[in-house]
Every structure is written in C-alpha cells, then in structure tokens.
C-alpha cells in the first residue's frame, strides 16, 4: 500500500451532502473514509451510500458492543454496505467477537476486516482507574488485542503508543488501525495518546485514521497529500 492508501479520513459530521462532497474531493488523495456513530445515527445506510459513491473504501466505525447474537446481526446487516473495515469493542468478550467474526465471514470474498477496539485514545491511566480497569493503558491494550486475535478478529484499533507492543504480541499479520494521529503542524484536540503519521507508519501501523488535520483544512486534499508526503 502507498502512504496515501493507508489514510482513512474521519468524516465526523451529520451533514451527508457535505460528507459526500468532501469524500469526492479526497478521491485519489487518501485510501478511504471513516463514518461513525454521529453520521450513521443521523443518516443511516442511505447516507453511507451517498458518501461511498465517491468510490473510496469504507471504514464503518460503529464499535458494536452487545450480546453475541445482537452483534452478529449488526455485522451481518452492515455487509450490504460493503465496508472494508467494521469494528466491535473487545471488552464485549470472546463469544461476542467470535460471533462477529462468523457473521463477517458470510460476505465471502468481500469479507471486511473485523477489528476490535481496545482502549479509546481519549482515555488515559486515570480514566481507566475511574472505570475499574486499574491497569496501564498499554498492558490493557495488549491484553485485549491478544483476546481479539484468539477470538477471530483480523486486528485491532489501538493508539499510536501501543503499536510496537501489540505488533510484538500478535505478530506481523495482525491488522493495526491507528487513530490519534496528528502531524506536527496540527492541534491535538481531545486526543491524549498521539503521534505523527510517519512515526505511526514506522512503528508498524497498517492504516491511520486522521480527521481534523484534513477535514478542517482550507484544502483537505492538499492536507492529505502533505501528510502522505511526510509519511513517504
């Protein structure tokens, strides 16, 4: 994959027309788009179809976390949108992740990558302690990544700071999709565990999720190309 193909742009908006226009303007400059809960709740599958009309691959970031049958049904329902990537919360446990993997496999040759979300990049050590996970973020990420791999997931979503540890624990074939990416020239926003695109790529990330440094730029395609040039 080229550096540009490793970039998935987070389109964090509820405006389907705006998201579709932005996706169209980014075609050829990035590898795909990420649509999450905010967009999907407002626009549903029809809104997703508007955005993916640009031809860019889709990361459907809905982070399912429920009982196994419900999550399997949600993954199965998502397959009509032909996502390249779907995800669940690793904290849902092994039975839930296995059910999700079985449902994803029903897509056959169009099977999406099934990723497990480990520890959200907005959470620091004090946040984990507050919710009863009295562990270092890296240790918790590695624990959940190993559980996800054993449960049939293709990879995980992890912060840039845990790439090396997860790669060592889970091997070269395990997909690592990494948010919390900020070029040196961009603000951190609400992300606590961040690094630059080049650093994440060098550490072993397979794909990077980048939002505001691209979407809030005066020229999103130029910002995306600047990032891919820095990665190269």
pLDDT digits (tens, 9 = 90+) for 12-68: 899 999 999 999 999 999 999 999 999 999 999 999 999 999 999 999 999 999 999
Catalytic status, residue 63: yes
- 10 Å CB burial of residue 224 (0-12, 13-18, 19+) is buried
Domain CATH number, residue 143: 3.20.20.70
Band the pLDDT of 183: cuts 50, 70, 90. Answer: confident
Band the pLDDT of 136: cuts 50, 70, 90. Answer: confident
Assess whether pLDDT exceeds 80 at residue 212.
Answer: yes
Q: What is the mean pLDDT of residues 197-222?
A: 94
Assess whether pLDDT exceeds 90 at residue 161.
Answer: no
Number of domains observed in the structure of the chain: 1
Average pLDDT over the chain reads 93
Contacts made by residues 101-110, CB under 8 angstroms, sequence distance 24+: 101/151, 101/152, 101/153, 102/72, 102/152, 103/71, 103/72, 103/73, 103/75, 103/76, 103/79, 104/75, 104/79, 106/76, 106/79, 107/79, 107/82, 110/79, 110/82
What is the residue whose two structure tokens read 């050590």?
125
Assess whether pLDDT exceeds 80 at residue 185.
Answer: no
Lowest mean pLDDT among 63-67, 98-102, 121-125: 121-125
3-state DSSP percent of the chain in helix, strand and coil, to 5: 50, 20, 30
| Polymer length in residues for the chain | 232
Name the active-site residue from 34, 63, 175, 188.
63
Pick from 126, 123, 122, 116: nearest CA to 149: 116
Assess whether pLDDT exceeds 80 at residue 187.
Answer: no
DSSP string, 67-83: -HHHHHHHHHHHGGG--
Assess whether pLDDT exceeds 90 at residue 186.
Answer: no
Band the pLDDT of 194: cuts 50, 70, 90. Answer: low
Could you tell me the CA-to-CA distances from 174 to 56, 96, 164, 171, 178 in Å, in that order?
23, 19, 12, 6, 13
d(CA 13, CA 36): 9
Domain containing residue 112:
4-231
- Which 8-state DSSP code applies to residue 112? P
Within 10 Å of residue 202's Cβ, how many Cβ atoms?
A: 13
Query: Which three-class secondary structure state does DSSP give residue 210?
Result: strand
Lowest mean pLDDT among 97-106, 121-130, 139-148, 172-181: 121-130
Pick from 205, 196, 201: nearest CA to 232: 201
Q: What is the mean pLDDT of residues 110-119?
A: 96
Single pTM value for the model: 0.92
Q: pLDDT exceeding 90 applies to what percent of the chain?
A: 81
Across the strands, what pairs with 64? 88
DSSP string, 9-26: EE---S-HHHHHHHHHHH
């Amino acid at each position: 994959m080229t550096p540009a193909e490793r970039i998935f742009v987070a389109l964090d908006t509820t405006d389907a027309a705006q998201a579709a226009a932005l996706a169209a303007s980014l075609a050829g400059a990035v590898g795909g788009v990420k649509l999450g809960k905010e967009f999907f709740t407002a626009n549903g599958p029809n809104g997703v179809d508007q955005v993916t009309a640009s031809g860019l691959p889709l990361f459907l970031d809905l982070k399912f976390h429920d009982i196994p049958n419900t999550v399997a049904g949600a993954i199965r329902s998502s397959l009509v949108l032909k996502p390249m990537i779907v995800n669940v919360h690793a904290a849902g446990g092994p039975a839930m992740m296995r059910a999700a993997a079985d449902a994803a496999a029903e897509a056959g040759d169009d099977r999406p990558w099934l990723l497990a979300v480990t520890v959200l990049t907005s959470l620091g050590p004090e946040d984990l302690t507050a919710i009863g996970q009295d562990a270092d973020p890296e240790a918790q990420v590695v624990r959940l990544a190993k559980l996800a791999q054993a449960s049939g997931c293709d990879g995980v979503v992890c912060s840039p700071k845990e790439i090396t540890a997860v790669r060592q624990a889970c091997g070269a074939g395990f997909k690592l999709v990494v948010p919390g990416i900020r070029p040196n020239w961009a603000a951190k926003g609400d992300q606590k565990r961040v690094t630059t695109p080049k650093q994440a790529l060098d550490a072993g990330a397979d794909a990077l999720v980048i939002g505001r440094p691209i979407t809030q730029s005066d020229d999103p395609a130029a910002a995306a190309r600047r990032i891919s040039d820095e990665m190269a």
